[in-house]
Amino acid sequence: MSHVLAIVEATTLLGKEVRDTLVGKPGSWREIRLLTTREEEVGALSEVAGAAALVLRADADGLSGVDLVFCCGTDEEARQVLAVLPETATAVVLAANLEDYAAIAGQPLPPIVAGVNFSRADQGRVLLSPHPAVVLLAHLLHPLRGLGIEEAVATVIQPASMHGDPGIDELFEQTRQILTMTQRRPTPIFGTQLAFNLLPTPAPTEPLSKQLHAVLAGDPPVSLQMLQGGVFHSLAASLYVRFVGRTDAKSLRRTLGQQPHLELAKKPQYLGPIDAAAQGKVLVGAVAEELSTPGGFWLWAVMDNLTRGGALNAVEIAEEVL
């Protein structure tokens, strides 16, 4: 059976990635509608699968007959869509741009990570494709839980594209100004120089910790720190894991390599965020034993925030639901 799908805020980075991902999966849909809550974008000409398509208003008429909706904008834009969502439709909300995902539908949304907790995909009409950092850490920790994780501490470095096109444009402009030695302009997105730099993130990590806790059903508890990196695309994670039982780095890499959403880097010593750009899997780099702590190991991994951390996860949720 083919379905009618809709992408709300299809002009965002995530919206474009969802559209391109769906176009690459022919046969599962018969129509893709491009919708928006932004008045200035209504009526704009775009394209789907090489054919011209108009961006329509995300109201009751635009959503009529739709089976599943991807919400790729802010929490307020998602809230407007859910207010007129047809009773027979399901919504997948992509959480990368959300400030308060729990308040969108008046209750916490079930966060789903493909291949980790698909069983929760039938628990509501509104589902959450969680923050890319949550997707990354869930894929790393899920296959290791059987080894008895006693402690997990993660530092995740996010790219400028987590702030959409404005974040990419600001980082590019900062880089250009530095290289050409021209006058520095204001930085409304990052507040200071991000190019060739690393910054703390002002946003609290508690919402992300709650999402990860829900995906992993609380096992294991994870301490999380988020940093803002001066790269355009892809997350990088430094993960410390301490196990109850005995294991070794080679066994850990072998366990991770058996997971379909993970791929072991051929040259782990050179793995960086750029290697994950446009890739559909989490790339796992070095796994090193912490010699000062029995059972402790450091893991390094990277993942594209727009593909595996965004569009691919959301589309796989949709496939499971439909």
How confident is the model over 218-252, as pLDDT tens digits?
889 999 999 999 999 999 999 999 999 889 999 99
Q: Phi then psi for 79, rounded to 5 degrees?
A: -60, -40
Instruction: Specify the CATH number of the domain 135-304.
Output: 3.30.360.10
pTM of the model: 0.94
Q: Phi then psi for 131, rounded to 5 degrees?
A: -50, 140
Between CA 284 and CA 297 the distance in angstroms is 14
pLDDT confidence of 1, banded at 50, 70, 90? low
pLDDT of residue 199: 97
Which residues, 6 or more positions from 179, have their beta carbon under 8 angstroms from its beta carbon?
none
Q: Do 3-130+310-321 and 135-304 show the same overall fold?
A: no
The packing angle between helices 13-23 and 164-180, to 10°, is: 110
How confident is the model over 130-186, as pLDDT tens digits?
999 999 999 999 999 989 999 999 999 999 999 999 999 999 999 999 999 998 888
Between CA 102 and CA 293 the distance in angstroms is 38
How confident is the model over 244-278, as pLDDT tens digits?
988 999 999 999 999 999 999 999 999 999 999 99
Sorted by where each begins, the domain ranges of the chain are 3-130+310-321, 135-304
Pair of tokens at residue 139:
């894929």
How confident is the model over 81-99, as pLDDT tens digits?
999 999 999 999 998 666 5
Q: What mean pLDDT value characterizes the chain?
A: 92
Q: 8-20: string of b/e by CB count within 10 Å (b at 16+)?
A: bbbbbbbbbbbbe
CB 91 within 8 A of CB 126: yes
Domain 3-130+310-321, CATH homologous superfamily name and number: NAD(P)-binding Rossmann-like Domain (3.40.50.720)
